[in-house]
Amino acid sequence: MINFNLQLPVHLFFGKDAHKNIASQIPSGSKVLVTYGGGSIKSNGVYDKVMAALEGFDVVEFGGIEANPEYDTLLRALDIIKKENITFMLAVGGGSVIDGTKFLSSAALYQGESPWDILQKGIRTEVGLPFGTVLTLPATGSEMNSGAVISRKSMNQKRPMGGPGLFPKFSICDPTVVASLPERQLSNGIVDAFTHVMEQYMTYPTAATLQDRISEGILATLIEIAPKVMKDPSDYDTAANFMWCCNMALNGIIQKGVPTDWSIHALGHEITALYGIDHARTLAIVLPSMYRYKADKKGAKLAQFAERVLGLSGSEAELATKAVDAIENFFHSLNVPTKLSAYEGMDAADKAPISIVENLEKVRTIKLGEHGDILRDDALTVLNSAY
């Protein structure tokens, strides 16, 4: 097993009425900036609950953080933080609002010339302005990790950032919010969490026996509950298992002691940056083509997944093929397409894949995957077959 260190500092409050813990977690006398998205929290009752929990605090609001949080929007929030002397933030939303708030946490204390440096130069944040989160969309695990991804449309960029200073102080995870999610966001959440596990599991066999079993447990649970969540998101226990799977998929535990891939996310972020396709949907486009392309190196783990999670039998090569087919069918069962060409406005077949590769090349050398052996031409081949 590879050496590791693990820091899990987020105080998680999980369950019905978890928002009642908010006030006790924010230092008294704090001036609180509540950040949120386009307004879903106002129609599903979350806003009222949060505001009631914040009674007695000096509160300022910043709404309008969009899906794939936009740098220019966040700069407006940064102005407010500075003008109002904000001392604590509460992010109320999905991955986008939480990630946007992580950027603000970093930028508020950043001493350099421009906050864009944090993204452009990949500066790790050791200390940030403290914040908590109220999760409204299970998907990213952002409520318990220290990473974020920020978009800058004017430059066609979507950049990751992170650091130990960006863990939320606490997160409120009340599964009753799942009831208000539209089908598209439910399916996105399932696909994103499923792919997060895959990026940390679908590599090559190591001696990380427990990590494998935990990952397989999350994958099997997602497959089991997916049709139930889609059919009735108001079923509390199903929603709770969905929320916990998404958290476990990217809270840091399953990546410890194992090699990780993340090539699907690297290409997926470029698809969103160029074409605005939802994050999870970009993963569904890349994953099947990537795994078919890498079936030689991933064969043993694909077969292990097919045997242990899908209960199939056969030779390693047969199982690997069946595994990728099954994952693709799983995405289709959620009405999530697995081809670029399923999306309107997509460049012609001869343009989209090369545009995606070139956009990534602007910011880094393409050397992806657990072996660092997915180079420019490999990425292009994968995207061509994903068209």
Binding site for ligand NZQ (CB under 6 A): 37-41, 44, 67-68, 93-97, 99, 136-137, 139-142, 145, 147-149, 177, 180-181, 185, 188, 192, 250, 265, 279
Q: Are 173 and 90 in contact (CB under 8 A)?
A: no
Output 98 or 374, the one with its CB closest to ligand NZQ: 98
Interacting residues of 149 by C-beta distance below 8 A, sequence separation 6+: 68, 99, 158, 159, 160, 161, 269, 279
- Among 329, 364, 370, 330, smallest CA distance to 199 is for 370
Q: Note the Cα 337 to chain centre separation in Å.
A: 19
Output 175 or 288, the one with its CB closest to ligand NZQ: 175
| DSSP string covering 108-132 | HH--SS-THHHHHTT---SS---EE
Give min distance, CB of 121 to ligand NZQ, in A: 19
Binding mask 145-184 for Zn ion (x = CB under 5 A): ----------------------------------------
Output 176 or 195, the one with its CB closest to Zn ion: 195
* 215 binding partner (options Zn ion, ligand NZQ, none; Cβ < 5 to 8 Å by kind): none
Residue linked to tokens 């864009």:
116
How is residue 78 written in tokens?
């940064």
Give min distance, CB of 60 to Zn ion, in A: 30
**Interhelix angle 236-249/209-231, nearest 10 degrees:** 140
Helix (H, G, I), strand (E, B) or coil at 252: coil
Output 70 or 278, the one with its CB closest to Zn ion: 278
Secondary structure E strands in the chain: 11-14, 31-36, 58-62, 88-93, 131-135, 147-152, 157-162, 170-173, 367-368, 374-375
Query: Which of 39-47, 150-158, 189-197, 304-312 is the region at the interface with Zn ion (rule: CB under 5 A)?
Result: 189-197
Give min distance, CB of 375 to ligand NZQ, in A: 23
* 341 binding partner (options ligand NZQ, Zn ion, none; Cβ < 5 to 8 Å by kind): none
* 115 binding partner (options Zn ion, ligand NZQ, none; Cβ < 5 to 8 Å by kind): none
Query: Which of 188-196, 198-206, 213-221, 222-230 is the region at the interface with Zn ion (rule: CB under 5 A)?
Result: 188-196
Give min distance, CB of 170 to ligand NZQ, in A: 16
> Distance (Å, rounded) from C-alpha 188 to C-alpha 161?
22
- Considering only 143, 192, 199, 328, the residue that binds Zn ion (CB under 5 A) is 192
Give min distance, CB of 98 to Zn ion, in A: 13
Distances, alpha carbon 174 to alpha carbons 13, 145, 148, in Å: 8, 18, 22
* 148 binding partner (options ligand NZQ, Zn ion, none; Cβ < 5 to 8 Å by kind): ligand NZQ
Segment 243 to 282, residues that bind Zn ion, using CB under 5 A: none
Give min distance, CB of 313 to ligand NZQ, in A: 33
Helix (H, G, I), strand (E, B) or coil at 176: helix
Q: Say how many C-beta atoms besides its own lie within 10 A of residue 265's C-beta.
A: 20
The identity of residue 208, as a single letter, is A
Query: Which of 4-12, 21-29, 178-186, 191-199 is the region at the interface with Zn ion (rule: CB under 5 A)?
Result: 191-199
Give min distance, CB of 19 to Zn ion, in A: 26
Output 299 or 330, the one with its CB closest to ligand NZQ: 330
Segment 96 to 135, residues that bind Zn ion, using CB under 5 A: none
Query: Which of 8-16, 112-120, 187-195, 356-364 is the region at the interface with Zn ion (rule: CB under 5 A)?
Result: 187-195
For 200-232, the three-class secondary structure string (H helix, E strand, C coil) is: HHCCCCCCCHHHHHHHHHHHHHHHHHHHHHHHC
> Distance (Å, rounded) from C-alpha 147 to C-alpha 140?
10
Residue least distant from Zn ion (Cβ): 192
Output 86 or 98, the one with its CB closest to ligand NZQ: 98
Give min distance, CB of 181 to ligand NZQ, in A: 5
The binding site for Zn ion (CB under 5 A) comprises: 192
